[in-house]
Amino acid sequence: MLKTKGGIFVFILAALAGVLICAGCSKYIKPSDKAAYGSASAAVEKAEKDLKSAEASPNKDDMQETYNDARSKLAGAKEFMGKDDYAKAQDSAEKASQLAIDVKELPGEVQKLIAETEKSLVFATEVGLDRSYGKKIKEIKDTLWDANNNVRLRRFAAAKSMAANAYNEARKAIEDVEKANDSMAKAKTAVIDAKDAGAESTVADILKSAEDTLAGAKLDMDNANFQKAREGADKACQLAKDALEKAKAVKQK
């Protein structure tokens, strides 16, 4: 028992009932709910901080709808806390945090994706991808246009999805060029190594086949047929390696 100044005795029933007193409030938290309550409380506290930061963001006016949604989710989280539904409270608070973060960061993320995609498209044109991947490049440009249009309409979530798709498609096309260049470099090195090993005099037919195949791959590169160029370069590389091994074997005899 505890005695108050007024002489009134108050029994600490919470201790006898095996419950905890919620810090800063008058309700009781069951020991079995302590972990869930703690996680939900932390999520709500984080959401409040994220909302405060979002409120000061220069993007708030452009992201007003998202900001309002974040506030609504936070209010819902607090309601769930009052109903002791800590799982739903935590889920709603975490969604509020993510929306608040989107208010601050999403416009910048979209602009970065758009800029990187535009940069990739310039490179694609420079290496001739618009000749071999004309349809694909057009689709990428159309998707990028849609992304920019959604930015103008302040639909940043949709804009990010479109910009990310355009960026990924552009990178896939450029990877074909990079892989072809890598194969060409390996094939050229293999031919040089074979020559250094004396393949021109010992296995001239295999070496010539490797050189002819490599020349064909180079022609495909010049015509922007990157996949075909890569296949030809890989074949030339293997022929050159075969020539190298046989030239070494001849020397050892």
Q: Is 155 helix (H, G, I), strand (E, B) or coil?
A: coil
Distance CA 115, CA 117 (A): 5
Q: Do 21 and 31 meet the contact criterion of CB atoms below 8 Å apart?
A: no
Q: How far apart are CA 188 and CA 182, in angstroms?
A: 10
Tokens read off for 32:
């079995």
Q: Which amino acid does the sequence have at 253?
A: K
Phi/psi at 9 (nearest 5 deg)? -95, 130
- Report the first-to-last Cα separation within the chain, whole angstroms: 104
Q: What is the mean pLDDT of residues 5-14?
A: 41
Q: For residue range 202-231, what is the model confidence (pLDDT) as tens digits?
A: 899 999 999 999 999 999 998 888 999 999
Query: Does the predicted TM-score (pTM) go above 0.85?
Result: no
pLDDT band for position 27 (cuts 50, 70, 90): low
Write out the two tokens for 133. 């991947």
When the pLDDT of each residue in the chain is averaged and rounded to a whole number, the result is 88
Going by pLDDT thresholds of 50, 70 and 90, the confidence category of residue 132 is confident
E-assigned strand segments in the chain: 2-3, 9-10, 20-21, 28-29
Q: Report, as an integer, the average pLDDT of 38-45.
A: 96
Amino acid occupying residue 242? D
Query: For 87-100, what is each residue's pLDDT tens digit?
Result: 999 999 999 999 99
Cα radius of gyration rounded to whole Å, the chain: 33
With beta carbons less than 8 A apart as the criterion, state whether 73 and 46 touch. Answer: no
Cβ partners under 8 Å of residue 149, min gap 6: none
* Amino acid at residue number 83: K
> Whole-angstrom Cα distance, residue 202 to residue 195?
10
> What is the arithmetic mean of pLDDT over 184-211?
94
Is the pLDDT at 12 greater than 90, yes or no?
A: no
Confidence (pLDDT) at 224: 84
**13 pLDDT tier (thresholds 50, 70, 90):** very low
Q: Are 236 and 182 in contact (CB under 8 A)?
A: no
